[in-house]
Chains A and B, each alone.
Chain A
């Protein structure tokens, strides 16, 4: 019976004293550290952005019933709300796609499937990003007649 091991990953018998310690000045941590940190920071930011978005669009005043094209037109006259919505878009996409990547890492065992799923998610994310960004940056509130 052959048992698969991770012997490839484990160091052989350590070489003599001294050779073992290679002092490096570069601190530990690469992509996984920053991805982990990003998830925490963006999570906190998204809490404010998303809850604010839900309040404005669905709860305050008459809630969703007052939202129409003109409402958006007026709101997007201010760079503040455009920035808000764009930040929401970008952070939600990155947070979500990275979350999917991490979930795929945990649950999908076959490397080919892992790769395919990650490419699919990244492409979908990129497409939504481009679509949203184009609209946020090119929408001209004055190009449309006001309804009232």
Chain B
């Protein structure tokens, strides 16, 4: 039955589930913990075994642990729908959003760690400041000096298409914290900053492209990229991150011709 707002579908799906179509699965979560306030500088592993719906998200399983088993577990999440970018974690060794990983795909056992290369504050929560410092350094906002337009700034579909891929970024940091160059040296601006520079460099309404290219041509910019492709693998939005970085390298090279 469709009530016009799509809720009918959702209710039917949960009815089917309640009828036991899938059956529950047992999931063991192995979680890397860290709490400098109570346990000092050493991190440790905790294991929790829960019953879960196979088509629940891993985030639901973490919620279950936090709400019913161990309230001290600290994690970040907000939207739970792959949009806010706050729950990037290393899941079975790969960066992903906990709200986009389905229990069925990882059961019976899953390992969850904080993303790498940023200082861990507590459990799965890291200090994102170095990541955002890199992001801010590429001037990720519209720069246009030719005065206020009468109406909106027009753009053709082709011009819009040029940077479409990089508009999808949700700043989850999954790419940057999967990059071995960033692990070794957080001074590297990292893939996410380059993606967000790309979004404005190729925007026909923007006039700050040259400045951004200058910033990205510096010592800690795009030329530190070793084309590892970890970032492209990690991106939960399917952005072709490595391709965006290569675009910028090419622009810096051919800018002068």
A residues lining the B interface (CB < 8 Å): 1, 3-7, 9-11, 14, 17-18, 20-24, 27-33, 35-37, 105-107, 109
Contact = CB atoms under 8 A, between A and B. Distances in A.
B143 A3 contact: no
Query: Which interface class (under 10, 10 to 19, 20 to 34, 35 or more) fits B?
Result: 35 or more
A28 B219 contact: no
Interface string B160-187: 0000000000000000000011001111
B137 A11 contact: yes
B211 A9 contact: no
A106 B183 CA distance: 9
B136 A11 contact: yes
Contacts of B150: none
Given A3-B119, A11-B136, A106-B181, 18 more contacts: A6-B129, A7-B129, A9-B187, A10-B136, A14-B141, A21-B143, A23-B210, A27-B252, A27-B255, A28-B210, A28-B214, A28-B217, A28-B252, A29-B252, A33-B252, A105-B185, A106-B184, A106-B226
A32 B208 contact: no
Nearest to A31: B219
A53 to B, nearest CB: 27
Interface string B228-256: 00000000000000000000010011011
A32 B221 contact: yes
A21 B208 contact: yes
Contacts of B226: 106
Contact of B186 (A6, A20, A27, A37): A6
Contact of A3 (B127, B136, B145, B249): B127
A119 B145 CA distance: 45
Given A27-B256, A36-B223, A106-B181, A21 B207 contact: yes
B137 A30 contact: no
Contacts of A35: 223
